[in-house]
Amino acid sequence: MTPERKARIQRVLNSRQPDLCVVTDYVHKGRNLSAIVRTADAVGAMDLHCVIGDKEYKAFRGTAKGSHGWVKVHRYTALADAVQPLKAQGVQIVAANLSAHSVDFREIDYTRPTALLLGAEKEGVSVEGQALSDAEITIPMVGMVQSFNVSVAAGIILSEAQRQRQLAGLYDAVRIDEKTYQRLFFEWGYP
């Protein structure tokens, strides 16, 4: 490992946010899932909880290849299996959903342990997803088209989460435990 590579990995591990993650509620296009993983990595999120059918998941793993190494992708076929363990840990479930009772996405406190729940390309967040979430948020739009591409919506919301966490100093001290740090350091450094 070159000194540059080592320093880069350490910088990234020093910024990792164990209490920020993404849940996808049957988002099934590989290119959207890949863009979401890439964005999750960029803001320091460590886990993508991916609720999806078997076949679509295989296709996604196939197209995305190595690029998933930085964010752990967990796979479920039922949304509750992804969400209930997070809720049990006190993580707030924030659903990105274009509904009448959604609040502006900037009103949420993302410095709290947070899972961002994203809806499917056509169907949006499922009825179950809405029931399981603690808050529903919307990104204001002033155009003719009714929604953003889901990976674009993820980028806008996670970037706001990152801004808030930056201000709160959550990137200024190591937030993952020593064991996880060492494990990822070796996995990433000596693949």
Contact call for residue 141 and ligand SAM (CB under 6 A): yes
Which DSSP letter does residue 120 get?
B
Give 139: exposed, middle or buried? Use CB within 10 Å, 0-12, 13-18, 19+: middle
Q: Which lies closer to ligand SAM via its Cβ, residue 155 or residue 184?
A: 155
Nearer to its own copies, 74 or 106 (CB): 106
How near is the Cβ of 72 to ligand SAM at its closest, in Å? Answer: 21
Element (H, E) at 73: strand 72-76
Which partner in its own copies, ligand SAM, none is near 24 (CB below 5 to 8 A by kind)? none
Q: How far is the CB of 98 from ligand SAM (least distance, A)?
A: 5
Q: If you search the block for the tokens 């990152």, which residue do you land on?
A: 162
Residue 147 near ligand SAM by CB under 6 A: yes
Residue among 19, 14, 16 at smallest CA distance from 109: 19
Tell me 102's DSSP state: P
What six digits make up the tokens of 121? 């390309």
C-alpha neighbours within 13 Å on the C-beta side of residue 152 = 6
First-to-last C-alpha distance (Å) of the chain: 10
Q: Which does 39 bind (CB under 5 to 8 A by kind): its own copies, ligand SAM, none?
A: its own copies
> Among residues 166, 180, 181, 185, which is the contact residue for its own copies, using CB under 8 A?
166
Q: What is the CA radius of gyration of the chain?
A: 16
Task: Select from 9, 13, 45, 119 the one that contacts ligand SAM (CB under 6 A).
Answer: 119
Please, what is the minimum distance in Å from the beta carbon of residue 14 to ligand SAM?
Answer: 19
Is position 171 an interface residue for its own copies (rule: CB under 8 A)? yes
Q: Least distance in Å: CB of 27 to ligand SAM?
A: 7
Decide: helix, strand or coil at residue 124: strand
User: Which amino acid appears at position 102 of this protein?
Assistant: S
User: Binding residue for ligand SAM (CB under 6 A) from 17, 39, 138, 162?
Assistant: 138
Contacting residues toward ligand SAM, per CB under 6 A? 96-98, 118-119, 121, 124-125, 138-139, 141, 147-148, 150, 153
